[in-house]
Amino acid sequence: MNVLDFGFGSIEAMLWQILFLSVRCGAALMAAPMIGGTAVPAPVRILLSIVLGYFVASWVPIAPTPAMASIAAILAVLHEVIIGLMLGFVLQLAFAIPLIAAEQIAGTMGLAIATSIDPASGAQAGALGTFFSLVLSLLFYATGAHLLWLELLVESYRLLPAGEAAFGAWRAQSVVLFFGAGLATAAAIALPVVLVLLLVQILTGLLARSAPALNLFALGLPAGVLAGIAAMIVALPVMTAQLRGVLETALDQSAQLIGAR
């Protein structure tokens, strides 16, 4: 344990050390979906980042802090912001995957106009997207993924020392590749429901051709909505397993970013 000396002679250096260490935590919390949303006030996030910075300064072996108000300190702060944003951005991409899958399903079902307020971001989103986002949030906390992510955030100070670590281009490239894999996962989540809705549309088209007197819109829209809801109920266990896999992949990607794996 690092004993912090808060004497009058070193209080300025200690405060600068805690503030410098809280920059990475603050950037990660600002970018993370569970705390970076509008539902959590900015003063709460700043206070939490300072608390984490004090914890890191007390328990994690750290390198000497660059002198305050120097060029080296400015560059080190920018580097800490980049690392924190990358760790939070990985989670942001993971939480965007079910939204993409929900938009595919809603567009096929005809529910694209059904919108609501997303509690995570405070923006207007589709009703299915909000439902999928809530399911992923429940899985995120129920599986303890938030604790593992915070552990990776603290562990990053050991593997990427503050003010000394170099954030290579391959780390940013791995985030882009993770986004590509996320798009494929979103398509896999929406695939069972979209296939069922495609069959419903084919049957509706055949009925419309065989009986032109039928009202296609009055028949096709309710049939698509009911078939889509039934398909989601049947496929929900598979979707839940895929969403859990998304969280595991996001944590693995965060670990790779800091060099833990």
| Tokens 């399911």 -> residue | 135
Q: What digits encode the pLDDT tens for the residues 172-209?
A: 777 778 888 888 888 888 888 888 888 888 887 777 67
The secondary structure of 28-43, three-state, reads HHHHCHHHHCCCCCHH
Q: What digits encode the pLDDT tens for the residues 33-81?
A: 877 666 677 788 888 888 888 888 888 777 777 777 778 788 888 888 8
pTM above 0.75, yes or no: yes
Q: Which of 20-29, 89-98, 160-169 has the lowest mean pLDDT?
A: 160-169
DSSP-derived 3-state class of residue 125: strand
Alpha carbons 48 and 52: distance in angstroms, whole number: 6
For range 80-95, the mean pLDDT: 87
Q: Which of 14-23, 58-67, 178-187, 216-225 has the lowest mean pLDDT?
A: 216-225
For range 94-110, the mean pLDDT: 84
Mean pLDDT of the residues in the chain: 79
> 207-238 burial, b for 16+ CB within 10 Å, e for fewer?
ebeeeeeeeeeeebeebbbebbeebbeebeee
